[in-house]
Amino acid sequence: MNKNPINKIAVIGAGSWGTAIAMTLSKKGLRTVLWGHNESHIQTLQKDRENKKYLNGFPFPDSLKLEVDLKEAATGADVVCMVIPSHVYRSIFRKLVPYLKTGSYVVSAVKGIENKSLMTMTQVMRDTLGSALTAKNLVLSVLSGPSFAQEVVMDLPTLITIGCDELHQAQHLQNVFCTERFRVYAAEDMIGIEISAALKNVVAIATGICDGLQFGLNSRAALITRGLAEITRMGVAMGANPATFSGLSGLGDLILTCTGDLSRNRNVGLKLGEGQNLPHILDSMEMVAEGVKTTESAQKLALQLQVEMPILEQVYKILYQDKQCSAAVTDLLTRELKPE
């Protein structure tokens, strides 16, 4: 049942969220290694003992180990937590596979859909692993919910969801990740959690555009509500449980990302609504706004599944076809009237 004691955890990805997860686990007393692909960045983290680039002012626990060697980081880990941007997820996970310990848990904490394959991150892992998934008795999982990294390292109360194929597996990980200020709920709807996590970033861009255009709180509330309807439609079409979308990984994360000042995707939308162009916005950002790439893959997926997603469609046209934000709003509001 994969309930062996947890002796080592490897967090793969030294951005803000990976750092926050590693610090949380390390402060709990778990032996934790944080890996990053950029050797100079890791050397800086080792010297400073904090991630000044992404989480300035929050010192690492003394026990947290930094590592640039992937084999060294992953070998012997009972839990491997993937916190890598979706566009490089497959390539890094492929390098990681030979070092995965038999019977270990592999957790995705990434919110995106792969552009070429249109797969979620756990689907990418299954595809990459092939027969090794069963041969190594691995358990795949997804961690998601309303959780800005900065608030997590500030030790502010945060609630999040962890999902596996089977509930008892999620409950085991629930105990691993849970602290007094980081409460974890267990679930068994991985596809629902992942679709919520990915598509809420698209809705956050739309909400940011709305705020940038100064359309007011009525518009924001409507976008969040109708955005949730779109996310639910796609998730159900992919076999998700509709109840997932009203939970922490669905509505909870959607509200946070659409309204929080720390939301990268909302800030992209804000700047678009204010008239800035996308290349300039992205060049000025230190961290990845996953919603930009997710919009492209989600639009393809919606067409493939024949799911109606008008907000997604308009965000796609703004990002990839240079459509004016005001014209997109007009087109949304003047669609054919229909029952809710």
3 included as an active-site residue: no
Q: Whose structure tokens read 């880990």?
A: 77
Residue 106 near residue 89 (C-beta atoms within 8 A): no
User: What is the distance between the alpha carbons of residues 83 and 108, in angstroms, rounded to a whole number?
Assistant: 7
Radius of gyration of the chain (CA): 20
Q: Per-residue DSSP letters for 160-208? A: EEEEESSHHHHHHHHHHH--SSEEEEEES-HHHHHHHHHHHHHHHHHHH
Q: Whose structure tokens read 């709990």?
A: 28
Q: What is the dihedral of CA 141, 142, 143, 146, to 10 degrees?
A: -160
Choose, from 8, 101, 111, 200, the residue flagged as catalytic. 200
Q: Whose structure tokens read 């996310």?
A: 231
Sheet holding 105-108, edge to edge: 65-67, 32-35, 9-12, 79-82, 105-108, 139-144, 158-164, 182-187
Beta bridge partners of 106: 80, 140
Q: Per-residue DSSP letters for 209-246? A: HHHHTT-HHHHHHHHHHHHHHHHHHHHHHTT--GGGGG
Instruction: List the end-to-end C-alpha distance of the chain, in Å, as a whole number.
Output: 44
Q: Whose structure tokens read 């459509």?
A: 323
User: What is the distance between the alpha carbons of residues 286 and 183, in angstroms, rounded to a whole number?
Assistant: 29
Q: Vertex 37, ends 31 and 40: CA angle to 5°?
A: 100
Active site residues: 200
